[in-house]
Amino acid sequence: MKEQMKQWLARDPDPATREELQQLIDAGNAQELAARFSGRLAFGTAGLRGVVGAGPNRMNRLVIQETATGLGHYLMKTVSTAAEQGVVIGYDGRPDSKAFAHDAAAVLTALGIKVYLTHAVAPTPLVAYGVTALNAAAGIVVTASHNPPAYNGFKVYWGNGAQIIPPHDQGIAAAIDQAAVQPLKLLALDEAQQKGLLVWLDESFYQDYRERVKASALLQNHTQPASVSLAYTAMHGVGAALAETVLADAGFTQVYSVAAQREPDGTFPTVNFPNPEEPGAMDLVIAEAKKHQATLACANDPDADRFAVAVRTEEGEYKMLTGDQVGVLLGHYLLTRTNPAESLVGTTIVSSSLLQKIATAVGAEYFQTLTGFKWLTNVAMQKQSDSKQFLFAYEEALGYTVGNMVWDKDGLTALLAFAQLTAELASHGRTVWDQLEAIYREHGIYLNAQVSIALSPNSPPIGDSLRQQPPEEIAGRNIVRIDDLKTSTRHFSDGTTEAIDLPGSDVLIYFLEDESRVVVRPSGTEPKLKCYYEVIEVIDQVDTLAHGFQRAQSSMDELIRRHQNSLTGMTAD
Residues carrying an active site annotation = 145
How far is it, in rounded angstroms, from Cα 434 to Cα 533? Answer: 25
The rounded distance, in Å, linking the Cα atoms of 316 and 295 is 9
Distance CA 107, CA 67 (A): 9
Spatial distance between the Cα atoms of 531 and 454, rounded to a whole number of angstroms: 11
Integer-rounded Cα Rg, in Å, for the chain is: 24
What does the DSSP assignment read for 185-197? ----HHHHHHTT-
Cβ neighbours of residue 550 under 8 Å, at least 6 residues apart?
none
Whether 484 and 315 have beta carbons less than 8 Å apart is answered as: no
Cα distance from N-terminal residue to C-terminal residue, the chain = 35
Nearest-angstrom CA–CA distance, 556 and 51: 37
Residue among 457, 449, 471 nearest 528 (CA): 457
**E strands, 285-387, in order:** 296-300, 307-312, 318-320, 343-348, 365-369
List the beta bridge partners of residue 409. none
Q: Is 314 left (phi over 0), alpha (psi -120 to 50) or beta?
A: alpha
Query: Are the beta carbons of 400 and 348 closer than 8 angstroms?
Result: no
46 Cβ contact partners less than 8 Å away, ≥ 6 residues apart: 153, 155, 163, 372, 374
Give yes or no for a cis peptide into 167 (omega within 30° of 0).
Answer: yes
DSSP strands (E only) in 427-569? 445-454, 473-474, 477-484, 489-492, 497-499, 508-512, 517-522, 528-537
List Cβ neighbours of 487 (8 Å cut-off, separation of 6 or more).
504
Q: CA 464, CA 41: separation in Å to the nearest integer?
A: 28
306 neighbors 409 (Cβ within 8 angstroms): yes
The DSSP line for 57-71 is TSB-HHHHHHHHHHH
Contact predicate 373/408, CB 8 Å: yes
Alpha-carbon span 226 to 248, nearest angstrom:
10
- Contact of 397 with 278, CB cutoff 8 Å: no
Cα distances (Å, whole numbers) of residue 37 to 150, 401, 457 = 18, 39, 22
Which amino acid, residue 389? Q
Per the CB < 8 A criterion, the answer to whether 261 and 236 are in contact is: yes
